[in-house]
A and B are shown apart, each in its own frame.
Chain A
Amino acid sequence: MVNPIKSYRNTFIILTGVLLLIFMINISLGSVYIPLKQLFLAFIDGEVEKESWKSILLDYRLPKAITAIIVGSGLSISGLLMQTLFRNPLAGPYVLGISSGASLGVAILILGASFFGATAASYAFSSWGHAIAASLGAFLVLSAVMLAAIKVRNTMSILIIGLMFGSLTASVISVLAYFSSANQLQQYLFWSFGSLGNLSWNEISVLLIVFLIGMTFVILIIKPLNSLLLGENYAKSMGVNVKRTRNFTLISTSLLTGVITAFSGPIAFIGLAVPHLTKLLFSTSNHKILVPAVAISGAIIMLICDSIAQLPTSEYTLPINAITSLFGAPIIIWLLIRKRKITY
């Protein structure tokens, strides 16, 4: 009998092609028009008609596109892991308050900087400082939600607990904001709008390193995640170390959500919507297929959202969060109405 577990090779090839295409489109779009030919020239031999074009491409558009890819993949993978672990189709880094936890970490760093004195303040604005604070915040909230999830089996209660943690961290941030200077407040506010741009190559390498560490943990739990599809008791009976799987999920989601939120602000709906769209496309629950598929789809959708956000041919850029919500919320509503239920 032939193994009927599909490999989806063709779908993957098409998806990767789409990713490359969107990547090129994303880079070619912006307030300054750069001819396609010059675009290729800039990457191939570095000879471009105008020096400013090269600088726009290499110092602004390329880092932004790479950031979009990492952010889209990372958040979508986090969402996928949470949906499987919490057996909850509505789980995601934003919904469960993980992004809020990361925000709290950054808020304490930016808004609370005056409390810690000058040394802490100077450290606070380094990229590693942001990343560590946000990951710690994400880790704290996620651990709390997981502890609650062990006690409370009901999936609806877990969502509500996540929402409550979100409100809790929001209120702590408001208190911090109340005592902050206008300057700090503005800095925090701009960060919280979400943005993929303005990352130096240095910051991108931090983002990439942490992303790769997080993804390593994800790859290690692909097999146990599949058995968790039958529930914890079945997973245990098949020799799966559920505790280890839970811890690895905790580590990887905190790292991914934490570092991404640190650099690009809390980004809504990507983590929730992309896994569902991917499952619709691939119609499987096998994580060996889903993990790479969700990563590529997340990157594609984030690049599309970013292309829309920069309002091609105009000089305005919309906050990325507005676009992801505009795109994500209707998709979830549509999925719920179309299937009357969503699986994970």
Chain B
Amino acid sequence: MDLKTKHIIKTSNLSIGYSSKKNVNTIAANLNIELTEGKLVCLLGKNGIGKSTLLRTLTKVQPALCGEIFINNNNLKALNSIDLAKSLSLVLTEHLPENNLSVYELVALGRQPYTNWVGNLSEVDLEYISKALEQTNTKHLANAKYYELSDGQLQKVLIARALAQNTDMIILDEPTAHLDMHHTIETFTLLKKLAKEFNKTILVSTHEINLALQLADILWLMTPSNFMADTTENLIENNCLDQLFDSDLISFNKTLKQFTISNSY
């Protein structure tokens, strides 16, 4: 391995899950993931398989059971909260609390790891905010209150906030869960653009499998027994996608490169 390769994320023998005093519930073990910059990565797996647990562990929301995680070649355990905030930003599924924030103010909050103790925005901060609004095509919304936005617009604004945080990596937890087909595709193509043109590493957990198959550079597949990370072509070639759902209802069609409903139902 080339030592100079910049790994945005690297894990060694990572085990994730929950531990209490009585027992340890391991969700996945021995994960060795490597991720370089400028990649759109889709994390796929059925409901309850542990996608959120993996994301929560990678973002230091919950501790790893064992093993190490490296963000930009720094051990996650040794990173303080500000340095971590400068390395990765999040777009979460949860509903925002009700308040009066304007779109601009919301995006500006992404600059918090860089601003002074009272949060004054410098010229540099204003530039990053402006750039983030441009990249997501939301500049015309800047003065609107965020609660006036449609779900699709809000998702773009939340991505703009993550961009303003100026991190190498953005992690999104099911960003298209409430969106219609048009806005879902719009969101994914935006993410693809950010990875390709601005060299961001973007990790998305999603159920939009057919879109992921078309757009992702790398897929992470979580199954009850296995964790597979590879390029889409390789995974299709090795028949890995069939393991995603152990179900008779759907199967992976290799020629169409998408999941279809089985004829046997």
Q: List the interface of chain A (C-beta within 8 A of B).
A: 1, 3-5, 87, 89, 219-220, 222-223, 226-227, 229-231, 233-234, 236-241, 279, 283-286, 288, 341, 343-344
Query: Does B117 lie within 8 Å of A220, measured CB to CB?
Result: yes
Smallest CB gap from B121: residue in A: A3
- Within B126-142, the residues touching A (CB, 8 Å) are 126, 130, 139, 142
Stretch from B100-108, B210-218, B219-227, B241-249 at the A interface: B100-108
Residues of A within 8 Å of B105, CB to CB, are 5, 284-286
CB distance from B242 to the nearest CB of A (A): 35
CB distance from A281 to the nearest CB of B (A): 11
Query: Does A284 lie within 8 Å of B84, measured CB to CB?
Result: no
Query: Does A5 lie within 8 Å of B108, measured CB to CB?
Result: yes
8 pairs of A and B residues whose beta carbons are closest in the complex: A239-B85, A223-B119, A239-B82, A285-B100, A285-B99, A87-B97, A237-B90, A238-B112
Query: Does A341 lie within 8 Å of B98, measured CB to CB?
Result: yes
CB distance from A235 to the nearest CB of B (A): 9
Smallest CB gap from A87: residue in B: B97
Interface presence of B78 (CB below 8 A):
no
**How distant is the Cα of A261 from the Cα of B59 in the complex, in angstroms?**
43
Query: Does B165 lie within 8 Å of A233, measured CB to CB?
Result: no
Residues of A within 8 Å of B118, CB to CB, are 219, 222-223, 288
Query: Does B98 lie within 8 Å of A4, measured CB to CB?
Result: no
Query: Does B100 lie within 8 Å of A283, measured CB to CB?
Result: yes
Say yes or no: A231-B94 contact (C-beta < 8 A), given A4-B143, A220-B117, A237-B85.
Answer: yes
Residues of A within 8 Å of B61, CB to CB, are 233, 236
CB distance from A21 to the nearest CB of B (A): 28
B interface residues, tally (CB under 8 Å): 39
Say yes or no: A237-B89 contact (C-beta < 8 A), given A3-B121, A5-B105, A223-B115.
Answer: yes
Residues of A within 8 Å of B50, CB to CB, are none
**How distant is the Cα of A24 from the Cα of B80 in the complex, in angstroms?**
52
Besides A223-B117, A237-B85, A285-B100, 15 other A-B contacts (C-beta < 8 A): A4-B104, A4-B143, A226-B112, A229-B109, A230-B97, A233-B94, A234-B90, A234-B109, A238-B89, A239-B81, A239-B82, A239-B85, A239-B112, A284-B100, A343-B99
Interface presence of B45 (CB below 8 A):
no
Residues of A within 8 Å of B97, CB to CB, are 87, 229-231, 344
**How distant is the Cα of A19 from the Cα of B101 in the complex, in angstroms?**
27
CB distance from A59 to the nearest CB of B (A): 39
**How distant is the Cα of A1 from the Cα of B123 in the complex, in angstroms?**
10
26 A-B contacts (beta carbon < 8 Å): A3-B121, A4-B143, A5-B102, A5-B121, A220-B117, A222-B119, A226-B112, A227-B109, A227-B112, A229-B99, A229-B109, A230-B97, A230-B101, A233-B61, A233-B92, A234-B90, A238-B89, A239-B81, A239-B84, A239-B85, A240-B112, A241-B81, A284-B105, A285-B101, A288-B118, A343-B100
**How distant is the Cα of A343 from the Cα of B97 in the complex, in angstroms?**
9
Interface presence of B110 (CB below 8 A):
yes
Query: Does B110 lie within 8 Å of A238, measured CB to CB?
Result: yes
* Residue among B109, B115, B139 with max Cβ neighbours from chain A (10 Å): B109
Interface presence of B113 (CB below 8 A):
yes
Residues of B within 8 Å of A343, CB to CB, are 98-100, 147
**How distant is the Cα of A115 from the Cα of B147 in the complex, in angstroms?**
56
